Amino acid sequence: MSVIDEVVEKVRSKDRDQPEFIQAVTEVMETLKPTVDKHPEFVKAKIYERIVEPDRMIIFRVPWEDDNHEVQVNRGFRVQFNNAIGPYKGGLRLHPSVNLSVIKFLGFEQIFKNSLTTLPMGGAKGGSEFDPKGKSDAEVMRFIYAFMRELYRYIGPDTDVPAGDIGVGGREIGYLFGYYKKIVNEHTGVLTGKGLEYGGSLIRPQATGYGVAYFAAEMLATRGKDFASKVVAISGSGNVAQFAVQKVTQLGGKVVTLSDSNGSIVDEEGINAEKLAFVMNLKNVKRGRIKEYVERYPNAKYIEGKSVWDIISDNGMKVDVALPCATQNEINEFHANKLVRNGVIAVVEGANMPSNLGAIKILQANNVLFGPAKAANAGGVAVSGLEMSQNSLRLSWTSEEVDQRLQQIMKSIHKASLEAAEAYGKPGDYLTGANIAGFIKVAKAMLAYGIV
């Protein structure tokens, strides 16, 4: 049995109640196989065994009072996975599906993603099964204060710097930062995704979605193609999806789908800038549902209970590029086969782990350009890294400057992924390339520290 198989086996048996974490470990470890022969020093120092074990996992009670003065209790998580190359860094997710397995998978992925950005950031993730949907602003604020009342002792600008993820946007970061500042009495860059008035970076809200589009454009260019006149399917309708729509549209593509956890819309005429402004107001200000899109734009269709990938599969809808931007495991083998049959050119992941292992294999076997999450959606955390730099410098850069750096970083991740894939015998395989390129830097740093 190879050292990689042994590590995966050990995780399967030790963490058998953590399917998402096992999935992420399997995906990464399988692709690291070519590193084993080239780096006997990693094997000897048991780097593969060590990297799947988090530095620490913090789980805590979050008691708060709802608007009816009833006490509610949620569970908070922060998994500080690896700080070999920089302070822990990664988002906070508020969604009913959050559990230890989900946070561990996200924290594990974040190690390699952050390494790929070229910036000095370790990997972490946190969150709670608290559901912000249907809660008043006051309830969200009281929950967040209670969450930070415990989290504050484990984080800091040189220790661990959380940010947003599903269910955590500008409003939540404001409450988190405000409460941290109050109890620690320090105005420091302890969170990213902050408002511009109190240390945030221009382009951070846009960064993940823009980065996905930039990365996809780089991938298309390797086949002499671009976004012009391409039909693009995007899932989700949150932060990542919204700015992916914006950039893809600016690059000449036509986005025809969006979704939320209740259903999906198809707009064959394309979601143009005006329609996107409607979606942004609907989701970010009114906190409404995507089905309201068809009340405003009756030529579009809303399909309740179906994902974007279900609809494409059921109707034989032809799309050139697919950008899953909602959540994990949206695209399964069935969807992947249908996408292939309908002639998809590229599947580029905006969400974290939106394609399951079988789906990835099918897409790659059929020569579809497959852009893995940790490379394609790294623009968000990359600009978080730039926000940290600006906070340390006590300066702020212009949008042009940050966007320029974001574009450079996405280009460099694309190049590093292709080069590593080539060097380790898997030319054109972005998944293998991204995993190896991200891993090598972290592994070398771990090696330098000895056995800690």
Given ligand NDP, ligand 2IT, none, residue 246, with its beta carbon under 5 to 8 Å by kind, binds: none
Judge residue 365's burial from the number of C-beta atoms within 10 Å of its C-beta, 0-12 exposed, 13-18 middle, 19 or more buried: exposed
Which of the residues 66 through 105 are near ligand 2IT (CB under 6 A)?
89-91
* Residue 76 or 91 with smaller CB distance to ligand 2IT: 91
| Nearest CA-CA partner of 150 in 61, 57, 54 | 61
- CA–CA gap between residue 328 and residue 306 (Å, rounded): 16
The CA distance from 431 to 422, in Å, is 12
Contact partner, 192, from ligand NDP, ligand 2IT, none, Cβ < 5-8 Å per class: ligand 2IT
CB of 113 to ligand 2IT, least distance (A): 6
Q: Confirm or reject binding of residue 377 to ligand NDP (CB under 6 A).
A: yes
Interface positions, 166-195, toward ligand 2IT (CB under 6 A): 192
- Decide if residue 350 touches ligand NDP (CB under 6 A): yes
Convert residues 165-204 into a mask of x (bound to ligand NDP by CB under 6 A) and - (unbound): xxx-x-----------------------------------
Which partner, ligand 2IT, ligand NDP, none, binds residue 320 by CB below 5 to 8 Å per kind? Answer: none
Q: Pattern 339-358, binding to ligand 2IT, x per CB under 6 A?
A: -------------x------
Hey, which residues between 187 and 246 contact ligand 2IT (CB under 6 A)?
A: 192
CB of 74 to ligand NDP, least distance (A): 17
Residue with tokens 């409003």: 171
Q: Does 165 bind ligand 2IT (CB under 6 A)?
A: yes
CB of 98 or CB of 443, closer to ligand NDP: 98
With respect to ligand NDP, which residue has the nearer C-beta, 239 or 246? 239
In the complex, the smallest distance separating the C-beta of residue 251 from ligand NDP, rounded to whole angstroms, is 19
Decide whether 260 or 320 has the Cβ nearer to ligand NDP: 260
Taking the CB of residue 292, how many other CB atoms lie within 10 A of it?
Answer: 16
Residue 234 CA to residue 216 CA, distance in Å, equals 13
| Residue whose CB is less far from ligand NDP, 166 or 331 | 166
- Complex with ligand 2IT: residue 39 or 283, whichever CB lies closer: 283
Total number of residues binding ligand NDP (CB under 6 A)? 24
Q: Given the complex with ligand NDP, which of 95 and 230 has the nearer CB atom?
A: 95
Catalytic residue among 89, 104, 125, 374: 125
H/E/C letters for each residue in the chain?
Answer: CCHHHHHHHHHHHHCCCCHHHHHHHHHHHHHHHHHHHHCHHHHHCCHHHHHCCCCEEEEEEEEEECCCCCEEEEEEEEEEEECCCCCEEEEEEECCCCCHHHHHHHHHHHHHHHHHCCCCCCEEEEEECCCCCCCCHHHHHHHHHHHHHHHHHHCECCCEEEECECCECHHHHHHHHHHHHHHHCCCCCCCCCCCHHHCCCCCHHHHHHHHHHHHHHHHHHCCCCCCCCCEEEECCCCHHHHHHHHHHHHCCCEECEEEECCEEEECCCCCCHHHHHHHHHHHHHCCCCHHHHHHHCCCCEEEECCCHHHHHHHHCCCCCEEECCCCCCCECHHHHHHHHHCCCCEEECCCCCCECHHHHHHHHHCCCEEECHHHHCCHHHHHHHHHHHHHHHCCCCCHHHHHHHHHHHHHHHHHHHHHHHHHCCCCCCHHHHHHHHHHHHHHHHHHHCCCC
Question: Which CB atom, from 376 or from 436, has the smaller least distance to ligand 2IT?
Answer: 376
Q: Which residue is nearest to ligand 2IT (CB)?
A: 91
CB of 163 to ligand NDP, least distance (A): 7
Cβ-Cβ contacts under 8 Å for 302 (sequence gap 6 or more):
263, 264, 265, 290, 291, 293, 294
Residue 326 binds which entry of ligand NDP, ligand 2IT, none, CB below 5-8 Å type-dependent: ligand NDP
Is 125 an annotated catalytic residue? Answer: yes
Q: Which of residues 369-408 bind ligand 2IT (CB under 6 A)?
A: 380-381, 384
Least distance in angstroms from the C-beta of 93 to ligand 2IT: 8
Stretch that binds ligand NDP, among 176-184, 319-327, 362-370, 400-408 (CB under 6 A): 319-327
Hey, which residues between 208 and 247 contact ligand NDP (CB under 6 A)? 208, 236-241
Q: Which residues bind ligand 2IT (CB under 6 A)?
A: 89-91, 113, 163, 165, 192, 352, 380-381, 384
Q: What residues are annotated to the active site?
A: 125
Q: Which residues bind ligand NDP (CB under 6 A)?
A: 95, 97, 164-167, 169, 208, 236-241, 260-261, 325-327, 350-352, 377, 380
